[in-house]
Amino acid sequence: MKAAVSGLGCLCAAGGTLPDCMEGLRSGLRHPVPPVRIHTSHAVPYPVFEVPDFGHPPELLRTSALLLAAAREALGDAGINESIISICRIGVCVGTTVGCALSDEPFCKAFRNGEDPDLAPLERVFRNNPAAVLARTFGLKGPCQVVVNACSSGTDAIGLGASWIEAGLCDIVLAGGTDELSRITLNGFIALKIVDPEPCRPFDRDRKGLNLGEGAAVLVLESEESLRRRGGRARARVLGYSAACDAHHQTAPHPEGAGLRRAIQDALGRAGVAGAELAFVNAHGTGTPDNDRVEGRVLADLLPGVPYFSTKGHTGHTLGAAGAVEAAFTVASLEAGWIPGSAGFAMPDPEIGSSPSEAVQAVKGRAALSTSLAFGGNNAALVFGAPS
């Protein structure tokens, strides 16, 4: 039996909870502004999508704290309490990029300056493996792992977590992704010249690149038996997941989207869903010229007539969280029967040959696809379906 999605939690610049995020997407309003929490010396004040008013204990990295907030919302949504946790085998599978990186700049700077820095900041980073933090915090006893697959991390984490359920390895898996806004990644993406100095414009003819964001999302994946035993309810099911590597370039997608095609086709095949049955596609749609050209063409070719959209105009690119955030939006949109417009999109790109949704629109259908493309040539696709 396919893994059920019994709970959802999400926070990002679009909102502090999943219902808030959906309201933000429906409103069409977005708030990209120069970073407040981090500071850079770039001549251009590159806009980002930060989570406002979010505090956390000093021993936690912000990445871990964002994940915990999303997990609390998801567990609450699923109706899972301590007594259920104590009797279930619950795994954790989480995607991130910043959460496992050597990210403490003051420590590294002192080390490079020939000083003798205390190890506490470095140890804090290594103690903050997000999956381990989540397992420790809630006393979870199942398998626990972090996926560091760049921008497809969240999608891959959910796909792997669903496999754990299907293989009978866990009753419940908390699967998702998390990333905080980091000076290091912001500087890195700017160095690669793929950051838009204006609010990002996914799939638009004049797009110039991405805007970074931050956030986290957690899906409670659950076996049918566990749901039945505790009287829970499924909001959706993970019908299919697949991943395929381009094996082409370190930071650019295959020009024909070879890996993405295989990932989508295999995920649909595993789901037993025909392309024409999809209600919509929640696309990766970063706003970079390469990603959107390749992804838009593949979607137009493989899934003609299926509406697609990008939410990164509302959230920014949340990197390791993106796949999870978009998976949460996908399930919520499938339930609600509408999809948001692609904020930032205005002019069709003739090189793509198709256009994303421009405004909120009603959709019909019992399945939806969410896609992720990543540095390293990773491509991942998740198919979600209605609960029954």
Partner 1 sequence: MSVWIHGIGVVGGFGCGRVALEVALAAGAVAPRSLAVPTGQGMVELPAYRADTAPLDNYVPKRALRRVDGFARMALLGACLALEDGGQTPGGLQGTGLILASGQGATGSTLGLLDSFFESGDACASPIHFANSLHNAAAAHLAILLGADGPCVTLSQGRLSVLAALFTAKLWLEEGRATQVLVGCVEELSEVMGYAWLKNHGTSLVPGEGAAFFLLTRAPEGARAELCQVELGLVEESTLPTGGSFPQVYGHGPAAIGFDVAAASILLGTQGHGGIRLLVEEPGEGCGSVSFR
Strands 4-12 and 236-245: antiparallel
Q: Work out whether 357 is an interface residue with partner 1 (CB under 8 A).
A: no
Instruction: Please tell me whether residue 388 binds partner 1 under the rule CB under 8 A.
Output: no
Q: List, by residue number, the catalytic residues.
A: 151, 284, 317
Site for partner 1 in 32-51 (CB under 8 A): 40-43
Q: Is 249 in the site for partner 1 (CB under 8 A)?
A: yes
Q: Which is nearer to partner 1, 100 or 273 (CB)?
A: 100
Tell me which of 8, 66, 88, 150 binds partner 1, using CB under 8 A: 150
Q: For partner 1, which is the closer residue by CB, 93 or 352?
A: 93
- Binds partner 1 by CB under 8 A, chosen from 31, 56, 72, 89: 89
Which of 147, 174, 195, 271 contacts partner 1 by CB under 8 A?
Answer: 147
Q: Mind spelling out the 3-state secondary structure of the chain?
A: CCCEEEEEEEEECCECCHHHHHHHHHHCCCCCECCCCCCCCCCCCCCEECCCCCCCCCCCCHHHHHHHHHHHHHHHHHCCCHHHHHHCCEEEEEECCHHHCCCCHHHHHHHHCCCCCCCHHHHHHHHCCHHHHHHHHHCCCCCEEEECCHHHHHHHHHHHHHHHHHCCCCCEEEEEEEECCCHHHHHHHHHCCCECCCCCCCCCCCCCCECEECEEEEEEEECHHHHHHHCCCCCEEEEEEEEEECCCCCCCCCCCCHHHHHHHHHHHHHHCCCHHHEEEEECCCCCCHHHHHHHHHHHHHHCCCCCEECCHHHHCECHHHHHHHHHHHHHHHHHHCEECCCCCCCCCCCCCCCCCCCCCEECCCCEEEEEEECHHHEEEEEEEECCC
Taking the least distance from each CB to partner 1, the nearer of 171 and 326 is 171
Q: Which is nearer to partner 1, 11 or 92 (CB)?
A: 92
Does 182 engage in binding with partner 1 (CB under 8 A)? no
87 binds partner 1 (CB under 8 A): no
Q: Which of 7, 143, 215, 341 lies at the binding interface for partner 1 (CB under 8 A)?
A: 143
What is the smallest separation between the CB atom of 60 and partner 1, expressed in angstroms? 13
- Contact between 381 and partner 1 by CB under 8 A: the answer reads no
Site string for partner 1, 91-120 (x = CB under 8 A): x-----x--xxx--x--xx-xx-xxx--x-
Closest to partner 1 by CB, 1 or 192 = 192
Among 1, 29, 87, 192, binds partner 1 (CB under 8 A): 192
Question: Under the criterion CB under 8 A, does residue 243 sit at the interface with partner 1?
Answer: yes
In the complex, the residues that contact partner 1 under the rule CB under 8 A are 40-43, 89, 91, 97, 100-102, 105, 108-109, 111-112, 114-116, 119, 122, 126-127, 129, 131-132, 135-136, 140-150, 156, 160, 163-164, 167, 183-184, 187-193, 242-251, 258-259, 262, 374-378
